[in-house]
Amino acid sequence: MSRLVISIALLTLPTASNDDLLVCESQYYVIETELPVERAKFIGWVMDATGKEYARRFRGFRGSVRQKPKVRVFLDKDRYIAALARACGEPNVNTRGYYCGVDGIVYTYEGDGLERILKHECFHQFAERTIGGRLPRWTHEGLAQYFEEGIFEAKNGRLKVGAVPARRVVLLREAAKEKKLFPVDQLLHITARQWRNNMANERVRIQYSQVWLLCHFLIHGDGGKYASLLDDFLGHIDRGLDADSAFERVFGPDTKPLDKKLEEYLDKLKPREP
């Protein structure tokens, strides 16, 4: 893996007045940050491994990443919220990280789970650049969490995907017992507004973990049997087909069998993570 090229010069960013940020350029990303150089370099290594995995998994789409995507990492939440408000026009005070579609930059701040947040939000950034159509909410968030759970292997500079966090398995099994899981048909048609409304109650954790489960199943279920179908679905969207038509063309109109398969998959799923 090639070493990072670090630009030590400080500069004032036009979208974040009075924020002097160090620019650290890795192989695939530009990281503008208040963090120490060594910390920024490590983030660059993690994100380069992540970017390679995005590209490996989603070859052949119409779009491309023509310029290195930007990530801005602040020291604390207040600085993050202020910069995000200036860039996107809203404070987003309840977020830990955010992909701003206005300027195409991922914003976050230092703290526990920083690398997980970056892997998640940078998928949104990558998808917006590479997939030609409009991804439905379940796919956007489900795949972002799939990569979020990827494990960075420093020895070989890889992101190992497919982890099964125990916390998600426990949460989803409890929700299943209490009949709180979303039917697949409801997940497929959830709107941005409904998704945001669920953010205000206990269903937020279930909806995030359940779209993670759906994407994990489509990639790894039955020995990877459905991975090509997921690729076909995304390919139809990339070529301009709407999400409902794309799903029906690939998986058929009846989602009940998929509900059953997901139930069986969750029941057999074994947590595997370091």
pLDDT of residue 94: 82
Tokens 């036009």, located at residue: 14
Structural contact between residues 120 and 140, judged by C-beta atoms closer than 8 angstroms: no
4 pLDDT more than 60:
no
Question: Which residues, other chains included, contact 252 with Cβ-Cβ below 8 Å and sequence gap of 6+?
Answer: none
pLDDT of residue 11: 37
DSSP string, 26-42: -SS-EEEESS-HHHHHH
Domain ranges of the chain: 5-130, 160-268
Residue 56 to residues 61, 228, 261, Cα–Cα distance (Å): 11, 14, 27
pLDDT of residue 169: 97
pLDDT band at 93 (very low <50, low <70, confident <90, very high): confident
Alpha-helix residue ranges (DSSP H) falling in the chain = 37-57, 77-88, 114-130, 137-148, 166-177, 184-188, 192-198, 203-224, 227-238, 243-251, 256-268
pLDDT band at 5 (very low <50, low <70, confident <90, very high): very low
Write the pLDDT tens digit of every residue in 52-92: 999 998 888 877 778 999 999 999 999 999 999 999 987 67
Residue 222 to residues 62, 216, 225, Cα–Cα distance (Å): 29, 11, 5
Chain Cα centroid distance, residue 122: 6
pLDDT band at 15 (very low <50, low <70, confident <90, very high): very low
Write the pLDDT tens digit of every residue in 218-243: 999 999 999 999 999 999 999 999 99
pTM of the model: 0.90
123 pLDDT more than 90:
yes
Pairing of strands 30-33, 70-74: parallel
pLDDT band at 273 (very low <50, low <70, confident <90, very high): low
Q: Which amino acid, one-letter code, is at 240?
A: G
pLDDT of residue 17: 35
CA atoms within 13 A on the CB side of 11: 10
Question: Which residues, other chains included, contact 221 with Cβ-Cβ below 8 Å and sequence gap of 6+?
Answer: 261, 265
pLDDT band at 274 (very low <50, low <70, confident <90, very high): low
pLDDT of residue 19: 59
Q: What is the DSSP secondary structure assignment for residue 4, as one 8-state letter?
A: P
For a pLDDT cut of 70, what percent of the chain falls above it? 92
Task: Give CATH superfamily name and number for 5-130.
Answer: Collagenase ColT, N-terminal domain (3.40.30.160)
Q: Which among 5, 9, 54, 33 has a CA at the least distance from the CA of 108?
A: 33
Q: Which among 31, 40, 43, 97 has a CA at the least distance from the CA of 68?
A: 31
